[in-house]
Amino acid sequence: MRLAVLILASLPLLGQTEIPKTEEALRVLFLGNSYTYYNSLPDMVAAISNSTPGRRIETKSVTRGGATLQDLWHLTNALENLRAGTWDYVVLQDQSTLGENYVDGKWGVNEPNGLLRWVRIWNAEIQRKNAKPMLYLTWGRKAYPEFQTGLNYAYAEAAREIGATISPVGLAWKQIRETQPQIELFDADGTHPSPLGTYLNACVFVEVLMGKTCEGATRNSTTLRVPEDTQRLLTEAAHFAVEQYKAGILTSLPKPDYGTLKPLPPSTVSKAEDFNGTWRGRATMYNATQDVELKIEGNGRSCRGSITLSSSQRQTSMSYPLSNCTIDMTTLIFLTSDPRFLVEEYKAVIDGDKLVGTQMLRNTDPYVRLQGSFELRKD
């Protein structure tokens, strides 16, 4: 059964139950996407800090739906806000799967190359403001709990790279999903947080930032309403995750498999001319299966030809001339220039009566990793 939370729009207005604060507020800037702005996470962090004993937290956020840290740098005024304000912490949240990663049609969390590159860039600006970076470790999607492994490794590596603290939200989600599945942390779309999910996120942030739990927060505030038993379970899960993090659970993690193409088999070709002709078959490229027609005309080590990719489901058909086509006795290598994806590199060998190959995107964007494979037979 889905449990309900009432969160009024005026989260900062805590009325007569706000606990007086005498210390200067801790100022936190959140930079992220919809995982940050759903249910107003920064406002909820501030509201909880105001409704529990201890120092107050003031928050501000710059967000953009679906944004990577690279997008936040180029497409928003996040940098302007960072430079203009005075901050104790700056929270960095990357895209929920760290970009786009398809290997042989299988979707997964991307390798952390983009995250690592852009936390370094952001951290240089954060250090200039004498602030501290904090990384927002998010959660695996509802249908893909295994994504958590890739996210844990990526954020742990990024934190080690720049000396950042992690807010281990994803660990708290894992704890609730495994021990209290009746608490619905997800919105109906299976990716964004429900109000309860955001409450859990806020509890993790408050404990990491202030060293205090959310115990009593909903009973002290007129604007947060969580059933007492649920509030206790969420508080305990947040505390469990923070204690796990402090104990070093994210230290020295083995690198997970972010998706790997099978190596090409040994070639059975006897001469370069064996590649000549028209080959047809199927390819698994990116997130789709396509029909392939490959025409090869070789002359020694050099070759020319064309490739046609067709999808009856999508009702598309695209043909490209081959460039940089070479035959190194046992291996066919060529490039295509797809206006959608810049340059794609193909490698293939002859295995019996089949042409077996791989295809990958040559791309300078560390947030995009697209690879596939194909198997063709000669007409």
Domain for residue 127, yes or no?
yes
Report, as an integer, the average pLDDT of 123-130.
98
Domain for residue 261, yes or no?
no
pLDDT of residue 188 exceeding 90: yes
212/280 same-domain check: no
Domain for residue 41, yes or no?
yes
211/287 same-domain check: no
Range with the poorest average pLDDT among 105-114, 247-256, 278-287: 278-287
pLDDT of residue 4 exceeding 50: no
Report, as an integer, the average pLDDT of 314-336.
91
pLDDT of residue 8 exceeding 60: no
pLDDT of residue 13 exceeding 60: no
In whole angstroms, what separates CA 189 from the centre of its chain? 16
Domain for residue 266, yes or no?
no
Beta bridge partners of 193: 186
Domain for residue 346, yes or no?
yes
215/302 same-domain check: no
More reliable by pLDDT, 340 or 134: 134
Which of 246, 261, 291 is the last residue before a domain boundary?
A: 246
Helix (H, G, I), strand (E, B) or coil at 223: coil
Which of 228, 246, 264 is the last residue before a domain boundary?
A: 246
pLDDT tier for residue 10 given thresholds of 50, 70 and 90:
very low
Strands lying side by side in the sheet with 26-32: 57-63, 26-32, 89-92, 132-136, 165-167
33/124 same-domain check: yes
Q: Which of 13, 8, 46 is nearest to 29 (CA)?
A: 46
Backbone angles phi, psi at 245, to 5 degrees: -65, -45
pLDDT tier for residue 270 given thresholds of 50, 70 and 90:
confident
217/301 same-domain check: no
pLDDT tier for residue 1 given thresholds of 50, 70 and 90:
very low
**What is the per-residue pLDDT for 331?**
95
Domain containing residue 90: CATH number: 3.40.50.1110
239/336 same-domain check: no
Domain containing residue 304: CATH number: 2.40.128.120
pLDDT of residue 9 exceeding 70: no
Q: How many residues does the structure list for the chain? A: 379
45/137 same-domain check: yes
Report, as an integer, the average pLDDT of 111-134.
98
User: How many domains does the structure of the chain reveal?
Assistant: 2
Write out the residue range of the structural domain in which residue 290 sits: 272-378
233/84 same-domain check: yes
Q: What is the pLDDT of residues 59-85, one digit of tens each?
A: 999 999 999 999 999 999 999 999 999
178/309 same-domain check: no
CA–CA separation, 134 and 142 (whole Å) = 25
Helix (H, G, I), strand (E, B) or coil at 154: helix
Domain for residue 40, yes or no?
yes
Domain for residue 1, yes or no?
no
pLDDT of residue 347 exceeding 60: yes
239/278 same-domain check: no
Range with the poorest average pLDDT among 34-43, 171-180, 235-244, 355-364: 355-364
371/225 same-domain check: no
How is the chain split among helix, strand and coil, in percent rounded to 5? 30, 30, 35
Report, as an integer, the average pLDDT of 315-324.
90
Q: Are 93 and 32 in contact (CB under 8 A)?
A: yes
Residue labelled with tokens 């409450």: 199
**Per-chain mean pLDDT for the chain:** 91
Domain for residue 292, yes or no?
yes
Which of 212, 246, 280 is the last residue before a domain boundary?
A: 246
Q: Are 175 and 241 in contact (CB under 8 A)?
A: yes
CB burial of 271-300 (b: ≥16 within 10 Å; e: otherwise) equals ebebbbeebebebbbbeeebebbbbbbbee
Token couple for 24: 């200067």
**What is the per-residue pLDDT for 217?**
84
191/306 same-domain check: no
Range with the poorest average pLDDT among 104-118, 142-156, 356-370: 356-370
**What is the per-residue pLDDT for 271?**
85
**What is the per-residue pLDDT for 313?**
76
